[in-house]
Structure 1
Amino acid sequence: MIVGLKGKYFHAYFSETKMKLGFLLGCLGLFTFSRCSASERCDDWGVDTMKLIQVYDGEPARIKCPLFQDLLKHNYSTAHSAGLTLMWYWTGQGKDLEEPVNIRLPNNRITKDKETLWFRPAVLNDSGNYTCMLRNTTFCSRVAFPLEVLQKDANSCVSQAMKPEVVEFPLEHVVVLKCPDTDDFYPVNVTPAVSWYMNCNPGEFYERIPKGLNLTFIKVRPFYEGNYTCIVTYEDNGKLYNLTRTSEVKVIGPPEDEKPPSMTAPSDQVIYEFAAGEEMQLPCEVFFPFVKNSRMDVSWAVDGRNPEDSVDSKVSVTTSEVLQLGGAKTIKKNLIIKQITMEDLKRNYTCSARNSLGPVYRQAVVKEKAGTPRYITELACGLGATLFLVVCLIIVYHVYWLEMVLFYRAHFGTDETIGDGKEYDVYVSYARNAEEEEFVLVTLRGVLENDFGYKLCIFDRDSLPGGIITDETLRFITKSRRLLVVISPNYVLKGTQALLELKAGLENMASQGNIRIILVQYKAIKNTERVKELKLAQSVLSVIKWKGDKSKKPNSRFWKELHVAMPVKKISPATKYSNTCIELNTTQMSF
């Protein structure tokens, strides 16, 4: 009996316990379901490509979660106090799988500090999309943004793929360029070393003073535009790190020069005349001074309507822009109407321009073109014929001017050698080597003495033995009407006496003006910087070029140019072939 009661009691107790356990499990399942459902709902802001972060391989870098900067109203401390947890994930470049950021790497290369993820340093494999997620049991929000780790270009301090920060400096002002984004990278008690570069070129900066993280511009000038790079070097925990930062400096107009636009065309003083059937082109040219954060608008209006909105195919508008100093700009807009009618000539054509400081308007004065009078046509024909004749005469003179000058000299020229006290017509200066001696003694001497009848003085041929070279050279030059210099590479390399002759001739020509220098290029010289006298002579005198076999003919341009440069001299047949510097003694060397 007792056993039966105990069995019934145990069965009832077991049933009640089973019901309570089921209720508890149900409540736990419901709570877990609601919790999971709440956690599965997450505000995903996607990938914010505008937040692209670029860093250099091997340099420290940091990325801050944008949730606290742009998307949420609370800062990290407030969110943490509310029980929210910040977690970081990343998707490697070229991969699809998102995985947690590994902050347990050796040497603590990647660490977390509040809402900031630090890389000391970043490496190429760190490139990818980084996601920061803020969540608790009832709230979840996430956003992703890309990180790009770049290598510097070869032989450069930067990478062309890195987008520098743009800063605008007003012209003629004193400004300070700060090395950007270096705060909190190194300990407070550490003073880093900073090197400044302009377009990756080191060196002194004229009117720009580098001092630590600041580069002071004493006066901003237009040619100071460019990319300025600061490389910050510091030590942290026994390791040396570099931070490379680049700013693109643009020079803009100063604030005191900010003005409304000014219009140079159309002008009130200009009347645009067209005939029916012609193409009408009306220019609108506007100068805009630089005004910070201002639009620059230019537009045409035909009877108050914008022609760019017209569907008429014969109406079109062309636009061109010309950038000017300090961010100023000139905008040109041409209104073009094909095959205009009389009605088109009666319309109102107005150009307007505007910036943030005000507008300017100008109307183009258009009228019908009057017929051309008969006398204007006759005058135009006469002027055209005269112009044609003048052009023909200029062409004839340009082609045959040497022959014309030589003809005039031969028949009407005055003999320069009469009463000037000179003994020689030309003194020849040249490099003393076998090739150029043959050119001078055979070619030049043969034509100038035998054909033209000039009296040449050649030092090695005509000087008496035993004299002082310097004194003899100066004496010959002062007694000559021309100094003929044969230019060649050997003249520069081996022409010690020849350079003395050139210098003496230049000084004589500059101080007394009683000798003229003739430059004959026997062979081209690639570099005349080594001889300042020769460089000076070539800069102020014309050069007659010897062109080898082409110049050997007696009627070639070379001999005509050389003959024109020689003194005007009446040559008698009896003395044509007997002129030399002095009579050769039998003791002199025979060439």
Structure 2
Amino acid sequence: MRHSPTVWRQTLAGTGAVFLICGRNPTVLLLSREMKISFLFACLLVLTITRDCICERCDDWGEDTRKLTQAYDGEPVRLRCPLFEDYLKHNYSTAHSAGLTLMWYWTGKGKDLEEPINIRLPNNRISKDKDILWFRPVLLNDTGNYTCMLRNTTFCLKIAFPLEVLKKDPDSCVSNDKAAEVVTFPLEESSTLNCPDTKGYYPSDVIPIVNWYMNCLLVDRFIGRYPQGLNLQFVDVMQRFEGNYTCIVSYEENGRAYNLTRTIYVKTISSHIHAKAPVMISPNDKQTFEFLAGGELHISCDVYFSYVNNSFNEIGWIINGKSEGDFTDPRVHVNESVTLDTTLPGAKTIKKELRIKNITPDELKHNYTCTAKNTLGVVSRQALVKEKVGTPRYITELACGLGATLFLVVCFVVVYHVYWLEMVLFYRAHFGTDETIGDGKEYDVYVSYARNAEEEEFVLVTLRGVLENEFGYKLCIFDRDSLPGGIITDETLSFIKKSRRLLVVISPSYVHQGTQAILELKAGLENMASQGNIRLVLVQYKSIKNKEKVKELKLAQSVLSVIKWKGEKSKYPGGRFWKQLHVALPVKKTSSSKNSFQMVPLNVEFGTDCGKNVTTKNS
């Protein structure tokens, strides 16, 4: 059981009174010998009862963890017994004169045994001075719990507190941020930083050497900061002055040099010039909150609080006269968040969100007020809330119908853009009219190309193989199907008149070496322009520079689309090249017995009929 200082002080007084009465009272000397003996026995009985009642065991106040002392290895440190601090600090002399002795014990770090402190070390490294235990200097091994005990033969009182010795980096002015206390300085004001806990370490007639550091940089000729012994003067505090400040005090005592290292963290706060009452950002008079009945009400209250020293910041919602502490409805929720102001330290914006689920029409008519206050003032504002008129049902249905229609149109456009060739071919195959019936034409396609080995192979093997064998068209190829000995011009014009399409294979050779090819192109253009009974199909085998084109070819390309051959990518008969070419050729009802195309060598035979089959196929 612990006794208050008043209890043990009264006990000491009572014990002294008994001694005074029994030992030094002059009245006792006037009594007879028998009365003296009886009186002495009575005094002994009182002393015995007093001792048995109050001092059978030591009163242990336990460990005071709040009184953590931190010191650097190799520096002086003093420990003051907590029994004489605060309201007991003036009673050490009284306790000593009453016969009480102050004793010191310690428990090393990681140990359980409490040992007496040895104050007879060399050079008086550890010494006692009234209620203070001195270390000159303290070492790392001194870390542990220290106990000061006040006792006599009939009384005992003790308390323990920790000491932590930190290892200091020789290349740094401070080794551990835990050793730093925090002070706040207002911006744009002058302030003084004092080197703490140095008084009493050295005699008053000794002038120590003091060096100030900021983040381990010596404060020398710093703008706006001037060292003045144990004080560091800030002329005009700026935000960049925030950081760790260390004062190192150097002095000599009894021929030995000592250092005291103290670290303080300076935190900047907004100046009192900017201090003001709360400023409400939202809700405001220009805002109107509309909510549907049955939905969720969500209102945010944003308030800006400037920094005010020793002030409180409060913010809350009031619904129809009820504050947040009176909200019992589980549908009501209030959330708070804080955003710090980076330009003015200490200032912040507090947001408080009010949410009510399944709001009723009556609740939408309630008064929703946000209130904020600090020591400088109070601000309140009502949120303008009203019921939102729902959209008529027919408008919703119409909007849904239009949206669905638009979606289908977009889907159709996308599908048509991607698969329009397949759609055209499908329509032609099932619903198209056969162009070969009753038009008096003998050939489906007349092929015009440059006469060289590469393009002859392309025409005679690739084009002819797919168009005749896969698509069932009748091709007229002049070099293959014309009779020898005839007039080239007349036969060319005759073949073109008998054909439904003129397929022109464009390449650089078509212009440079294609005399007959140019003739065929002119004849086809004139026939298409004058009579309109033949159509041109342009297939680009190889690209031609614009300056190399003849005027007939330029005219054809300006009015007709060009189907481009892309080499290996276009050889597959089901590819895009062949689909485009198929769409450009006549609609003809024919069934193909083949589903795939295979390249085979071509043996050319000359005959009298353009439609004569002269290919050799693999069996």
TM-score tier after normalising by the smaller chain length: 0.5 to 0.7
Is 2:175 aligned against 1:175?
A: no
* Distance in 1 (alpha carbons) for counterparts of 2:50 and 2:115: 26
Counterpart-to-counterpart distance in 2, 1:73 and 1:105: 28
- In the other structure, the counterpart of 2:415 is none
Q: How does 1:76-95 map onto structure 2 within 5 Å?
A: 76-95=92-111
Aligned counterpart in structure 2 of residue 148 of structure 1, from 140, 149, 164: 164
Q: Give the whole-Å Cα distance in 2 for the aligned partners of 1:185 and 1:53.
A: 16
In structure 1, the gaps of 5 or more residues are 1-20, 386-571, 574-591
The offset of 1:271, in angstroms, is: 0.9
Distance in 2 of aligned mates of 1:341 and 1:154: 71
* SS of the residue 1:49 aligns to: coil
Cα shift at 1:203: 5.0
Distance 1:124 1:295, change over 3 A: same
Structure 2 distance, partners of 1:103, 1:268, is: 76
Q: Report Cα offsets for 1:103-152 as digits up to 9, x if no partner.
A: 11111111111211111111122122222222345544322211111113
Deviation at residue 343 of structure 1 after TM alignment = 2.7
Q: Deviations over 1:263-286 (max 9, x none)?
A: 111112211111123322211111
Over 3 Å counting, the alpha-carbon distance change for 1:175 and 1:26 in structure 2 is closer
Give the superposition deviation at 1:199.
2.1
Aligned match of 1:476 = none
Inter-partner Cα distance in structure 1 for 2:268 and 2:207 = 31
In structure 1, C-alpha distance between the alignment counterparts of 2:279 and 2:255, rounded to whole Å: 62
Tell me the residue number matched to 1:509. none
**Whole-Å Cα distance in 2 between the matches of residues 287 and 56 of structure 1?**
43
Residues 103 and 148 in structure 2, CA contact (< 8 A), matched pair in contact too: yes
Cα-to-partner distance string for 1:476-496 (whole Å, 9 max, x where unaligned)? xxxxxxxxxxxxxxxxxxxxx
Q: Secondary structure at the residue paired with 1:72?
A: helix
Residue 211 and residue 153 in structure 1: after superposition, are their counterparts in 2 closer, same or farther (change >3 A)? same
Amino acid at match of 2:280: M
* Structure 2 gap segments, 5+ residues each: 1-36, 407-546, 549-619
Whichever residue aligns with residue 264 of structure 1, its letter is I
Partner of 1:213: 230
Equivalent residues, number: 365
Q: Tell me the equivalent position of 1:286.
A: 303
Asked whether 1:187 is paired with 2:187, we answer no
Q: Structure 1's 179 and 32: CA in aligned 2 closer, same or farther, altered over 3 A?
A: same
Residues 63-462 of structure 1 correspond to what in structure 2 (within 5 A)?
Answer: 63-72=79-88, 74-137=90-153, 139-152=155-168, 156-160=172-176, 162-204=178-220, 205-307=222-324, 310-324=327-341, 325-371=344-390
Q: Cα gap change, 1:138/1:258 in structure 2, threshold over 3 Å: closer, same or farther?
A: farther
Deviation string for 1:203-261 (max 9, x for gaps)? Answer: 54221112321111010112211111111122222222111101111222333443322
Q: Which has the larger radius of gyration?
A: 2
Letter in 1 for 2:296: E
Tell me the CA shift for residue 164 of structure 1: 1.8
Q: Could you tell me whether the CA contact under 8 Å between 2:166 and 2:176 is conserved in 1?
A: no
Q: 1:194 to 1:255 in 2, by over 3 A?
A: same
Rounded to whole Å, the distance in 2 between the matches of 1:142 and 1:347 is 63
**Cα distance in structure 1, aligned partners of 2:90 and 2:300:** 56
Cα gap change, 1:308 to 1:39, in 2 (>3 Å): closer
* Secondary structure at 1:268 match in 2: coil
The amino acid of 1:357's aligned partner reads L
Q: 1:195 to 1:261 in 2, by over 3 A?
A: same
> 8 Å contact 1:318–1:333 — kept in the other structure?
yes
**Larger deviation, residues 88-97 vs 46-55:** 88-97
State whether residues 234 and 242 of structure 1, in contact with CA within 8 Å, keep that contact through their aligned partners in structure 2.
yes
Separation of aligned partners in 1, 2:356 and 2:306 = 30
Q: Which amino acid aligns with 2:235?
A: I
SS at match of 2:218: coil
Cα distance change, pair 243–367 in 1 and its aligned pair in 2 (3 A) = same
Within-5 A mapping of 1:496-515: none
Secondary structure of 1:58's aligned partner = coil
